[in-house]
Chain A
């Protein structure tokens, strides 16, 4: 699975959009970008994933560049409860392809300030 690079920490004001970048310059054509977050030692929580088209769900939007070498997770109206560590993970999707584990890395510690 491709390696990802994320900033160690970020701050965002409550109510504003939080934009979390992720670099995955070695991504392969069949690898998806996944985002999970972990709120203070709770179990990680799935947010969103995508291949090459932008994706949106009730939690967030995922913008993937045309060359797929980087992506941005957008929390449109951040709240204090969005303070967490956000993990960008790249791996093959579908069935039982590839190693059956998620490689979380260190993630980005996002702090939402009142």
Chain B
């Protein structure tokens, strides 16, 4: 089954404790991206990747890092999480770019205390 998976689905952590949210797709997609969703602010893009080793900032990249060492994986790294990064995070992928049908993961609900 074609899908985008994210782990963990739920995470409660404390300020400053490094964490990684994994994203994996099994569709051989070139394009992957991360969004965060907050009440009243909608979905905002954090980072995206057009292919292996090609990443770029979205609208809200501060406090986040990403890497794209393999085509299928696009982890989101929070080196020193802060409470303002408490949010619902979605990973998405598509064939070549954002204009193609986007497949979204199930989401990761992160709480930073």
Instruction: Give residues in A with beta carbon < 8 Å to B.
Output: 32, 36, 41-46, 49, 91-102, 104-107
| Interface residue range, chain B | 20 to 34
Query: Are B107's CB and A91's CB within 8 A?
Result: no
**A32, A43, A93, A106: the one within 8 Å of B90 (CB):** A43
Whole-angstrom distance from the CB of A2 to the nearest CB of chain B? Answer: 14
Query: Are A104's CB and B97's CB within 8 A?
Result: no
Instruction: Give residues in B with beta carbon < 8 Å to A.
Output: 4, 31, 33, 42-43, 45, 48, 50, 56, 58-59, 88, 90, 92, 96-99, 101-107, 109
Bound-state CA distance A36–B107 (Å) is 16
**Across the interface, which residues of B come within 8 angstroms of A100, CB to CB?**
31, 33, 48, 50, 56, 97-98
**Secondary structure of the B side of the interface?**
strand
Query: Are B43's CB and A42's CB within 8 A?
Result: no
Query: Are B104's CB and A104's CB within 8 A?
Result: no
By CB atoms of chain B within 10 A, which of A95, A99, A102, A104 has the most?
A: A102
Query: Are A43's CB and B99's CB within 8 A?
Result: no
Bound-state CA distance A94–B95 (Å) is 11
In the complex, which residue of chain B has the Cβ closest to the Cβ of A48? B101
Query: Are A97's CB and B99's CB within 8 A?
Result: yes
Query: Are B99's CB and A101's CB within 8 A?
Result: no
Q: 5 tightest CB-CB pairs across the interface, nearest first?
A: A43-B104, A101-B45, A93-B99, A104-B43, A46-B101
Query: Are A96's CB and B42's CB within 8 A?
Result: no
Bound-state CA distance A43–B98 (Å) is 15
By CB atoms of chain B within 10 A, which of A43, A91, A92 has the most?
A: A43
